[in-house]
Structures are given as C-alpha cells and as structure tokens.
Amino acid sequence: MGHSGLAVCKYGGSVLRSDDDFALVVHDLYRRVRRGQRVVAVVSALAGTTDRLLNRARFDGVEQDPHAVAGLVETGEVESVAMLRLALDRVGVPSEALDVGAISLRSVGEPLNATPIDVDLKRIHRVLEEKCVLVIPGFVGRDQGDRPTLFGRGGSDLTALFLAGQLGADHCRLIKDVDGLYERDPARPGPAPRRYDTMRWDDVLHLDGSIVQHKAVRFAREQVISFDVGELLTEGGTRVGPGSSEYASPRWPNRPLRIVLLGFGTVGQGVYRFAERLSDRLVVVRIATRDLEKAERAGAATSLLTDDVFDAVASNCDVVVEAIGGLDPARAAIESALHMGRHVVTANKAVVARYGPELHRAAERGKAKLRYSAAVGGGTPILEAVQRIAGESSIESIRAVLNGTTNVVLDCVSEGKSVDTAIREAKAAGFAEADPHDDLNGLDAAHKLTLLWHAWTGRWSVPACVDCAGASLERLTVLQSDSHEHEVIRQVAQLRRDGDVIHARVRLERLQPEDPLAGIRREQNAAVIRTIDGDSHVVRGRGAGRFPTAEAVVADLLDCADDVPDPVESMEFSVARPSIVPAQAVTC
C-alpha cells in the first residue's frame, strides 16, 4: 500500500531490558510504519536471558548435545517475539510473527556458531503484502536436519544483515543503547570519545566485537551490505559501509520535550503512561483537567495538576497535547498555544474539522507545528497514507470505516442487545464521544472525512456538505429487515471524485463478505484508497481506545522532539482568556 521501502531493524538485548521496553520498540516501529515502511523486526532475548539459559543447559561432567542447548536458548528469542507481537497488537499495528522453522532459515557450520545460508523469501514477502511488520527471532536457525542452531554471540546482528541482503531491503538498522559507534566505549571513564558518522566495515572490525558482531560485519563486507547502527526512536547514528570512516561533528543531546496535557481521560492518560516510559525524550510538566481528584486517582502526579486550561497552556513548555475534545475551550486553548509558538498535538477531529484554516493560520503565525494524526483512525495512520498516495498518484475515492463506537453498536444489535446497552459497552471501552450520538449519526466520521479531504487535496473547503442522512439508526432497521446472514452492516464514510465534484457521505451500508470493510470489528478502522490508475490501497488498524490513540499522539510528539530547540531560558506568557464561542453546526 503506497509503501516507501522495506527496512530490517534489529532490536537487541541492550534495548530489551524488561517487558516495558517492548512498548518503546513499538513506538519505533509505529513511526516507521506510518512513514509507509514495511519492517522485518529481528529481536533478541531480553538482556541476561541467553546467559541464564546457557547456565541452565550446563550439567556438570556431561557433554551436552549442542542442538538441545540451542533449543533451550532460542526460547529467549521466541519469548521476545511473542511479547513484541502482543505489544504491536495492543496499539493495532498489523503484524505477524514467524519462527525460524516457518521461514526455513537454514544454517551451516558449528551448531552453536552457525552461519545462515538460506531463507524462504516468498513466505516473508507474502506476509509483508498483508502486514506492516513481520517479527522474527534473531540469533537462531535450523540446520539441514531441522535442528536448532545458534549464530554465536551477538548473532541477531547476523540474522538482520543476512535477511537485509536476501530481501534486498532498502534499510538495515541495528538498534542498540548507543547513538552510534564510538572510537572507545562511551560508558568508560575518561574524556568523551568521538562518534563516527560513517565507518568502513574493516574499521568496525577493530572495535570491540560485543558492539556489532564481527562475523556479521564480515558477512556485510562480503555481501556489500551497508547498514546503520543507532539508538531507538531516532534515525541518525553511524553508517557502516564501503566509504571512509569519518567522525561526526559534536552535538548536544536533545533535551526532553516539555509537554502540557489538556484532558486526562482515555487519551490523556494513555499519553501520560507512554511519556513516563520515555522520560529521556518526553516530560509532562502540567496536566489540566476538570476533576483533579479523579485525575489523581487515575495516577496523575498531584504537583502537575491544575483545573485551569489556560494557566496550563501558559506554563513553560514546548508542546501542548489537547485531549479534552469538543470545540470550547479546545479551540481557544490550541490557538493560544500556537500563537505562543508552542507546538500542538491533538486527537480532536471536531475542532480541526471546524476550525482547520484558523488553526493552521495560528500555527503559521506562531511558527509552530499543528499535528493531529490520532484524529482520524486513532492508531491507524490513514491521514499519512492518504497524503503519501496523493503525492504519488491521483486518488479517485476513499471508502472507510472510521467509527469504532458504531461498529460496537452494530455488532451488539445484531447479537440482539439493545442500543442503550451497546452504547454503554462502547463508553466503558473508552471509544465513544462525549455525546455518543455524534458517533452513531455519522458526525464523527464526517469530521474525519473533512480531515481526509485536506490530506488528499491540501485544501480545507469541504467539497460539499457531508451527507450523513443514511447513517441514522432508523436506516439500520430498514437494512436489517432484508439482509442475508452472510452480509454485514457497517457505517461507511466515503469521498469520491466525479470530474471536478467530490461527493462526501457517511451512511450505513450492507456489505458483502468479500468487501475489505466487511471484516472490520469493534474499534478497528480501515480505509480503501483507490487511485485513477486502478490501484487499491488498504490501511487497517485500531481506530479508537487508549493505547492506539496515544500511540499516534506520541508519534506526533516524537516528530516534534526531533527538532526541539536546545535549552532555553524559561519564558512565561500571559494568556488572554477568550470569550466562549458558541459551538457551530458542523458539516452535516
């Protein structure tokens, strides 16, 4: 689907120190996926696991069958694969995990120091046609007799480079706990060592082999594979390849991005939880919400809390995350922040759909960024896919399921539950809007269509009134009355170009099972983007809920963090409190 390259990324034991670190790996993968990359993620066991398992395999005075040892040791990698798959699924990144048997990763040589020689590339490509991420265990293979083998210490580097070479990947990145290769171990005492910007394979072989496995480097040199060594959540690092070895110019490490959170509900709490684990990149400095005690009970630090949104916006920060929803005071808070030069990340499609041009003008004036990836599709990067595809060819139509609450209600009703019970279920899951009727009558999807239209054309003017007449629950009764058992009813949002006219509508439709939107359940969202040359691109994922939505917000924040200015003096602003603007009717 309009993807921009295949990457092989290796996540080693230095970045996988505990179960919490899988969420950080997901942040890294999610940012790649939303840029349109397909990724093969090669993972090692959690730090210390391989040594522990090797010790367990040792029985005094007995010579062990090395394949049996390899069989025990590989359980460490297998566990990491399963954990990463679960963490990806939590935020809805479409992924698959395959073990080395399933991809026939063949090796030769000593069972505990083997070398990969072959792999089932067709199987890998088949998975990547459907899924954005394929997770594979590093370090382990199978010999000709299908017995487990290991690739020697640091062997996950070799797995990654081998797969990158076989797949002809566009990028191969070995992700470590350092931001590149240094002339000496930067953790050792003494003067700060210099980091390399680029390095020849041969020169890497003079470094300690525990940083990048020497066998892997020799393999890369033989196969002429260039690769990067760097840390999580960044793109920089050291490029290893055929060129010369050059030092990088010194730079100050970026300080963490200071965030003000407006709202501490489903989305706000998810962002807070993720930020706590990313403390070297993101720090929450203030939280504004209505009910401070409720926020404390939900885990917010008391010292950060205020019930004054504008006071929070005025505090010393780089970014304001707006997660209160609705038009007021969201609009005024966003505009104030942008005017003051603070970046704004919001999940609020209502306010962006209604005031998009005004908010973008405020961002331009304040030289600040306005980001709202989460506003459409939650954790499903639909806006980014539309923008990318529109940049490559001419879009003809977008058909999408964009509202999780409606999915829940439709499924509950088809199971015989009442609409009220269904709405309670969607609310309890954190999917529903403040007024769930906005979900059911198509208004929420209409807002999302407005943002999709902007991603498609770069223009704000809504093509025509979004027609939501067919989204009502009364229509559900009509559709249900003569639908067949295999058909499924979904709320379908559509933008369709007809000459110079764009038709925009949201309505309940009866879908045949082969329709790519028919299988979308609960908080899942999907969009089918068709181009005039007949291509059809499908984007799927979790469109609502705490962690998928927070994942998209965090990705926007990390984009802002990439160019956070270097340390600055505190600047306090006083904010003019706006008068309340009455909410205006939106597109339907």
By CB under 6 A, name the binding residues for ligand NDP.
263-268, 288-291, 294, 309, 323-325, 329, 347-348, 374-375, 378, 430-431, 433-434, 544-545, 549
Q: State which residue, 230 or 329, has the beta carbon closest to ligand NDP.
A: 329
Say whether residue 372 binds ligand HSE (CB under 6 A).
no
Q: State which residue, 13 or 541, has the beta carbon closest to ligand HSE.
A: 541
Sequential DSSP letters for 508-542: EEEE-TTSTTTT--TTEEEEEEEETTS-EEEEEEE
Residue 430 interacts with, from ligand HSE, ligand NDP, none (CB under 5-8 Å by kind): ligand NDP
Instruction: Give 512's contacts (C-beta < 8 A, 6+ positions apart).
Output: 486, 487, 518
Count of CB atoms situated within 10 Å of the CB of 336: 24
> What is the closest distance, in whole angstroms, from the C-beta atom of residue 263 to ligand NDP in the complex?
3
> What is the closest distance, in whole angstroms, from the C-beta atom of residue 309 to ligand NDP in the complex?
5
Q: Tell me the residue type at 183.
A: E
* Candidate residues 543, 552, 556, 558; the one interacting with ligand HSE per rule CB under 6 A: 543
How far is the C-alpha of 497 from the C-alpha of 265, rounded, in Å?
A: 38
Residue 148 interacts with, from ligand HSE, ligand NDP, none (CB under 5-8 Å by kind): none
Q: Based on the number of CB atoms within 10 Å of its own CB, is 391 exposed (0-12), middle (13-18) or buried (19 or more)?
A: exposed
How far is the C-alpha of 57 from the C-alpha of 519, rounded, in Å?
A: 46
> What is the closest distance, in whole angstroms, from the C-beta atom of residue 328 to ligand NDP in the complex?
8
Instruction: Give 61's contacts (C-beta < 8 A, 6+ positions apart).
Output: none
How far is the C-alpha of 156 from the C-alpha of 153, rounded, in Å?
A: 8
For ligand HSE, the binding residues in 430-489 under the rule CB under 6 A are 431-433, 439, 444
Q: State which residue, 69 or 375, has the beta carbon closest to ligand NDP.
A: 375
What the block records as the tokens of 584 is 């205006």
Q: State which residue, 301 or 532, has the beta carbon closest to ligand NDP.
A: 301
Measured between its terminal Cα atoms, the distance across the chain in Å is 31
Q: What are phi and psi of 485, to 5 degrees?
A: -60, -40
What the block records as the tokens of 524 is 């899942």
For ligand HSE, the binding residues in 385-404 under the rule CB under 6 A are 403-404
Residues in the chain: 588
Q: Which of 176, 215, 349, 448 is catalytic?
A: 448
Concerning whether 448 is annotated as a catalytic residue, the answer is yes
Count of CB atoms situated within 10 Å of the CB of 364: 11
Cis-peptide into 381, omega within 30 deg: no
Residue 265 interacts with, from ligand HSE, ligand NDP, none (CB under 5-8 Å by kind): ligand NDP
Say whether residue 21 binds ligand HSE (CB under 6 A).
no
Q: State which residue, 44 or 348, has the beta carbon closest to ligand NDP.
A: 348
How far is the C-alpha of 413 from the C-alpha of 404, rounded, in Å?
A: 14
Say whether residue 269 binds ligand HSE (CB under 6 A).
no
> What is the closest distance, in whole angstroms, from the C-beta atom of residue 292 to ligand NDP in the complex?
9
Q: State which residue, 106 or 349, has the beta carbon closest to ligand HSE.
A: 349
Q: State which residue, 103 or 295, has the beta carbon closest to ligand NDP.
A: 295
For ligand HSE, the binding residues in 109-168 under the rule CB under 6 A are none
What the block records as the tokens of 10 is 């290796």
Task: Say how many residues touch ligand HSE, by CB under 6 A.
Answer: 11
CA angle 299, 305, 309 (to 5 degrees): 125
Closest to 265 (Cα-Cα) out of 190, 347, 188 = 347
Residue 439 interacts with, from ligand HSE, ligand NDP, none (CB under 5-8 Å by kind): ligand HSE
What the block records as the tokens of 328 is 């007021």
Is residue 548 helix, strand or coil?
helix
Residue 380 interacts with, from ligand NDP, ligand HSE, none (CB under 5-8 Å by kind): none
How far is the C-alpha of 167 from the C-alpha of 124, rounded, in Å?
A: 9
> What is the closest distance, in whole angstroms, from the C-beta atom of residue 354 to ligand NDP in the complex?
12
> What is the closest distance, in whole angstroms, from the C-beta atom of residue 379 to ligand HSE in the complex?
10
Residue 324 interacts with, from ligand HSE, ligand NDP, none (CB under 5-8 Å by kind): ligand NDP
Say whether residue 382 binds ligand HSE (CB under 6 A).
no
Q: Of all residues in this chain, which one has the CB nearest to ligand HSE in the complex?
A: 405
Q: Which helix (H) or strand (E) holds 247?
A: strand 246-247
Say whether residue 405 binds ligand HSE (CB under 6 A).
yes
Q: Tell me the residue type at 336.
A: S
Say whether residue 526 binds ligand HSE (CB under 6 A).
no
> What is the closest distance, in whole angstroms, from the C-beta atom of residue 528 to ligand NDP in the complex?
20
Q: Of all residues in this chain, which one has the CB nearest to ligand NDP in the complex?
A: 265
Residue 545 interacts with, from ligand NDP, ligand HSE, none (CB under 5-8 Å by kind): ligand NDP
Residue 403 interacts with, from ligand NDP, ligand HSE, none (CB under 5-8 Å by kind): ligand HSE
CA distance to 86, 153, 563, 585, per residue, from 440 (Å) = 30, 56, 40, 16
Q: Tell me the residue type at 12.
A: G
Q: State which residue, 148 or 430, has the beta carbon closest to ligand NDP.
A: 430
Residue 289 interacts with, from ligand HSE, ligand NDP, none (CB under 5-8 Å by kind): ligand NDP
CA distance to 288, 362, 410, per residue, from 406 (Å) = 30, 34, 6
Q: State which residue, 297 or 484, has the beta carbon closest to ligand NDP.
A: 297
What the block records as the tokens of 568 is 């600055």
How far is the C-alpha of 571 from the C-alpha of 314, rounded, in Å?
A: 9
Stretch that binds ligand HSE, among 83-91, 92-100, 177-185, 428-436 (CB under 6 A): 428-436
Angle between the N-to-C axes of helices 404-414 and 473-481, in degrees from 0 to 180, rounded to the nearest 10: 40
Residues noted as catalytic: 448
Which residues in this chain contact ligand HSE in the complex, by CB under 6 A? Answer: 378, 403-405, 431-433, 439, 444, 543-544
